[in-house]
Amino acid sequence: MADRPYVELITKENCPLCETGAETLQRATAKFNIDVREIDIFDDDDIYDAYSTRVPVVLAPNGSVIDEGKLSQAKLTPALLRLKVSG
């Protein structure tokens, strides 16, 4: 059986925008049966260097940015649909 498609959510503690973004992303991914792998920005120096001023950031499995900052259903939905179809 193939693994379920997933996205990564780069976030950090004490970040209201991250909390709101996580809720938005969970609603969007639930429609497509896509997993969310949450990564704290402070757990990896490379991730911190790349995204410290941009959180929350949603990454596709290939590392491309799907959305960042104030996450939007309008931007997430088409990207998640493509991921579901290709996954």
pLDDT tens-digit profile of 1-31? Answer: 458 899 999 999 999 999 999 999 999 999 8
Total Cβ atoms within 10 A of residue 53: 7
> What's the token pair of residue 39?
């990564």
Q: Quote the pLDDT of residue 1.
A: 41
Q: Quote the pLDDT of residue 4.
A: 85
pLDDT tens-digit profile of 30-64? Answer: 989 999 999 999 999 999 999 999 999 999 999 99
Element (H, E) at 48: helix 45-51
Model pTM score: 0.93
Domains of the chain by residue range: 6-86
Query: Where does 6-86 sit in CATH, by number?
Result: 3.40.30.10
